[in-house]
């Protein structure tokens, strides 16, 4: 039978009637508009070790179990993930073996012993719960994305529910209240001279926040280096969102349940700060600029004449020849090596500034080397990235290239040989006069994962100070470098300290600095400080002194000021300010063993150094809004005086028993109290049960051989532990266990008090004696037994403090009525 013949005209009409027909000369007809696209319905799951993959048929989500408390989430809109790479998380190590994947009709569930990640089948919502199935984080809409036509890739979005009393903390150095609820932020490192309250963005990008709701804390770390945005219930009160202008939607859910646990777990993946040199805990003096050499020497001599301790003195850009990095102005500093050597003989460490901009000058050796080796950034059409900063027309190294970092690190050899002890990296947002920063089309090597400046901007400063730190560490052999950077990204703590940037000499900025340091500390940046006295503007004596008092309990303590302001050294305002400033700087030096031990707890265990009240008592919602008080470590509570002419102020003490540092009065916590604040004091309280080590006052760290260490012991009627860390203070021997970590355990009753000591590590301090000062005994001791031996030489002073001395190697001391 013959088949029906095909009628070509009928077939053509069918095609023309088809709605999907596109004429070959008009191919864009019918292309769908660019809109946000959302995850569909998950229909398949795969497992590869500790990685789980879920797909809706096109997009794919990866769930990685990192530790029992940390799970990473990644989204690939078309099923293909970007290469595994992060500057914040150098190596994602699997630290968990017990995890499961369960499936039922409603969800997939990835579980560890501590947390669960739920992938809802109905709509691809992702949520997290604890081991009791209490939901702590839940999507409000599925993860979504939008194509970026101009640059390629996607805008990526994640939106989660926000509970009525949920609070948010962290995000680095944001210039606002401690609790971020109801606010919106942008992360794009910015040179923010004289920034104001609520100005955003400023210098750093730390895309990590902590949520506290119903007394349970968790963290979200959005590891994306593009310009990112966070909304904590600002647009919609019941939603919190984070999104970025490119890159991958990749975040870590970090469980608590305590804020402290969240920060410790964050440090597991991003690292902790290496131990700084001991001298870095001293007082630092800086100005833009101390020059010529005679001025530097005069400042140093006045510190010693006034008997005000100081360890660091800084040289700003005027020490250079025409602001060319790695050079010296021989008119101002004819023999820098001799000057630095003589400063060192008087106990001063010299810190110099180095910026990223390298002057375009073929007679300048640094530029010549960089040019010959193609170390400078280029734009999309292969022109060099050029911009004007302090030296004039400059080019800029690509610090995302490991070869460039190695070259840059080697440039410090001459400075180190001259005796320079530390390096200060500035202008590395990166800042460019006129345009603000680099254009978006600047290209970066990005450790082999190439990208534009949109991708590299927020990590440029971090990679600069990384190159500086690694170079110094190589050149200085086993000696610890000291570095400080203005810009940074999560993980910068592995390489550098930070300061809050170009602040202003106002009481508002004193308050803001107090909040910023607490925020940086709980955001994973432990070694932080402000420009004491304000960088711009003119403080009076009262403001400067109140700032010195707060700075005494900042992890990093440095005064700094702009060149168009009056000088502001601790003696600049005359009496009574000079004496009060001396008193507090001396207190800083007395407490260095405690400050140093607290830093060890950060380095080894991931504890934050400054801890806001909410971190002590997160279950009390009122504490979510306290931002004046904080503890340094867990033993000393400080409440700076933040108002002009303030004669007293309200201080909240967390639950427990506390001693007034000045009067030794024992006070029950869990309440507010009104504390007198004459100019020469600020409220300081010590937790009962603390053992606070104290060194003798020195004019600089290492000035004197320590013959004995004072142990300030505060009675408690419950078991309390304290730590005391010591090592050589300037080498990396602690990495080979050459340190001394002493644990003190105290406990008392109405008639007895016991002090026990245990030790680990291979370091032996040269002193032999502890000088015990025991405060708060509820009885008059008649007998002291130390390791089975009776101590007869003891006394009780006018403040009712028991004093006696005994061997540093004791194991158990018992005081009885």
453-475 and 402-410 helices, crossing angle to 10°:
40
- What single DSSP character describes residue 141? S
CA pair distance 561, 498, nearest whole angstrom: 16
What separation, in Å, do the N-terminal and C-terminal C-alpha atoms of the chain show?
Answer: 121
CA dihedral 352, 356, 362, 366 (to 10 degrees): 50
> Which two tokens mark 268?
């597991």
Question: How far apart are alpha carbons 209 and 118 in whole angstroms?
Answer: 21
Report yes or no: 753 and 691 within 8 Å, Cβ to Cβ. Answer: no
- As a whole number of angstroms, the distance between CA 370 and CA 92 comes to 33
d(CA 217, CA 166): 10
Q: SS3 letters for 637-678?
A: EECCCCCCCCCEEEEEECCCEEEECCCCCEEECCEEEEEECC
What are phi and psi for residue 10, nearest 5 degrees?
Answer: -65, -40
CA distance 805 to 774: 11
Distances (CA, A) of 784 to 316, 709, 716, 755: 55, 19, 17, 11
Before 498, cis peptide (omega within 30)? no
- Other CB atoms within 10 A of residue 69 CB: 24
d(CA 238, CA 202): 27
For residue 463, the SS3 value is helix
Nearest-10 Cα torsion for 266, 270, 272, 274:
180
Name the active-site residue from 173, 316, 502, 741. Answer: 502
Distance of CA 465 to the CA centre of its chain: 14
Candidates 16, 345, 71, 58; CA nearest to 219 is: 71
Longest CA–CA span in the chain (Å) reads 126
Element (H, E) at 75: strand 70-76
Cβ 100 vs Cβ 72: under 8 Å: no
426 given a catalytic annotation:
yes
Q: What percent of the chain is helix, strand and coil (3-state, nearest 5)?
A: 20, 30, 45
| Rg of the Cα atoms in the chain | 30
Q: Which of 576, 526, 443, 622 is nearest to 276 (CA)?
A: 526
Which residue out of 107, 231, 245, 426 is catalytically annotated? 426
How far is residue 629's CA from residue 616's CA, in Å, rounded to a whole number? 11
| Element containing residue 264 per DSSP (H, E) | helix 259-270
Catalytic residue flag (residue 173): no
Beta bridge partners of 374: none
The active-site residue out of 166, 355, 429, 741 is 429
How far, rounded to the nearest angstrom, does the alpha carbon of residue 503 sit from its chain's CA centroid?
A: 18
DSSP run (H or E) holding 596: helix 592-605
- Note if 311 is an active site residue: no
- Do 251 and 73 form a contact (C-beta atoms < 8 A)? yes
Q: Taking a C-beta distance cutoff of 8 angstroms, is the pair 396, 430 a contact?
A: yes
Which residues are known catalytic residues?
426, 429, 502
């Amino acid at each position: 039978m013959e088949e029906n013949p095909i009628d070509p005209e009928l077939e053509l009409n069918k095609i023309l009637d088809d709605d999907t027909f596109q004429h070959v000369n008009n191919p864009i007809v019918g292309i769908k508009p660019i809109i946000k696209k959302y995850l569909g319905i998950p229909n398949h799951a795969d497992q590869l070790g500790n990685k789980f993959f879920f797909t809706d048929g096109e997009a794919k989500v990866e769930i990685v179990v990192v530790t029992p408390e940390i799970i990473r989430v990644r989204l690939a809109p078309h099923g293909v993930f970007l290469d595994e790479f992060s500057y914040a998380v150098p190596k994602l190590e699997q630290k968990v073996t017990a995890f499961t994947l369960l499936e039922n009709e409603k969800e997939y569930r990835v579980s560890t012993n501590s947390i669960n990640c739920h992938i809802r089948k109905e709509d691809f919502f992702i949520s997290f719960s604890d081991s009791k199935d209490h939901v702590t984080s839940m999507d409000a809409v599925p993860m979504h994305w939008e194509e970026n036509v101009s640059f390629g890739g996607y805008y990526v979005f994640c939106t989660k529910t926000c509970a009525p009393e949920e609070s948010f903390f962290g995000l680095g150095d944001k210039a606002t209240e401690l609790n971020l609820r109801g606010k919106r932020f942008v992360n794009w490192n910015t040179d923010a001279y004289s920034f104001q309250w609520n100005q955003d963005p400023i210098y750093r990008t730390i895309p990590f926040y902590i949520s506290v709701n119903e007394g349970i804390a968790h963290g979200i770390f959005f590891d994306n280096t593009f310009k990112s945005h966070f909304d904590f219930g600002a647009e919609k009160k019941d939603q919190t969102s984070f999104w970025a202008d490119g890159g991958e939607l990749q975040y870590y859910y970090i469980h608590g349940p305590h804020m402290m646990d969240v920060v410790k777990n964050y440090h597991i993946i991003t690292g902790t700060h290496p131990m700084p040199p001991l001298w870095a805990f001293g007082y630092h003096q800086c100005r833009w600029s101390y020059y010529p050499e005679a001025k530097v020497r005069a400042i140093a001599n006045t510190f010693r004449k006034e008997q005000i301790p100081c360890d660091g003195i800084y040289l700003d850009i005027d020490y250079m020849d025409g602001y060319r990095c790695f050079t010296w102005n021989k008119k101002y500093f004819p023999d820098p090596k001799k000057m630095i050597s003589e400063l060192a003989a008087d106990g001063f460490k010299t810190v110099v500034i180095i910026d990223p901009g390298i002057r375009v000058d073929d007679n300048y050796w640094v530029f010549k080397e960089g040019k010959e080796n193609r170390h400078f950034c280029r734009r999309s059409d292969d022109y060099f990235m050029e911009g004007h900063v302090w030296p004039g027309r400059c080019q800029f190294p690509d610090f995302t290239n490991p070869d460039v970092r190695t070259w840059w690190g080697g440039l410090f050899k001459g400075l180190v040989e001259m005796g320079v002890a530390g390096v200060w990296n500035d202008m590395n947002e990166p800042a460019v006069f006129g345009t603000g920063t680099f254009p978006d089309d600047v290209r970066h090597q990005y450790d082999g994962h190439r990208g534009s400046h949109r991708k590299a901007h927020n990590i440029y400063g971090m990679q600069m100070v990384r190159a500086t730190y690694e170079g110094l560490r190589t050149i200085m052999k086993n000696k610890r470098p000291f570095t400080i950077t203005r810009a940074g990204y999560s993980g910068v703590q592995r390489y550098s300290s930070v300061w809050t940037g170009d602040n202003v000499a106002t009481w508002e900025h004193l308050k803001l600095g107090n909040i910023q340091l607490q925020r940086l500390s709980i955001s994973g940046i432990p070694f932080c400080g402000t420009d004491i006295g304000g960088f711009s503007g003119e403080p009076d004596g009262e403001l400067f002194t109140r700032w010195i008092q707060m700075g005494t309990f900042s992890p990093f303590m440095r005064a700094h000021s702009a060149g168009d302001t009056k000088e502001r050294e601790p003696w600049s305002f005359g009496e009574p300010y000079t004496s009060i400033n001396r008193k507090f700087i001396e207190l800083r030096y007395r407490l260095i063993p405690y400050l140093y031990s607290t830093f060890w707890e950060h380095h080894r265990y991931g504890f934050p150094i400054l801890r806001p009240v909410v971190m002590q008592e997160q279950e009390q919602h009122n504490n979510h809004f306290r931002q004046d008080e904080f503890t340094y470590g867990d033993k000393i509570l400080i409440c700076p005086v933040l108002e002009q002419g303030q004669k007293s102020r309200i201080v909240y003490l967390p639950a427990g028993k506390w001693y007034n540092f000045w009067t030794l009065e024992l006070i029950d916590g869990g309440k507010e109290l009104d504390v007198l604040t004459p100019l020469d004091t600020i409220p300081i309280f010590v937790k009962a049960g603390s053992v606070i080590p104290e060194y003798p006052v020195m004019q600089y760290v290492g000035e004197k051989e320590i013959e004995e260490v004072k142990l300030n012991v505060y009675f408690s009627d419950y078991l309390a532990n304290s730590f005391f860390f010591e090592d050589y203070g300037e080498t990396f021997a602690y990495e080979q266990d050459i340190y001394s970590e002493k644990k003190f355990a105290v406990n008392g009753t109405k008639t007895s008090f016991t002090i026990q000591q245990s030790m680990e590590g291979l370091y032996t301090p040269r002193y032999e004696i502890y000088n015990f000062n025991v405060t708060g005994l509820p009885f008059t001791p008649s007998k002291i037994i130390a390791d089975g031996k009776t101590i007869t030489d003891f006394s009780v002073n006018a403040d009712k403090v028991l004093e006696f001395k005994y061997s540093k190697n004791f194991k158990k001391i018992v005081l009885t009525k």
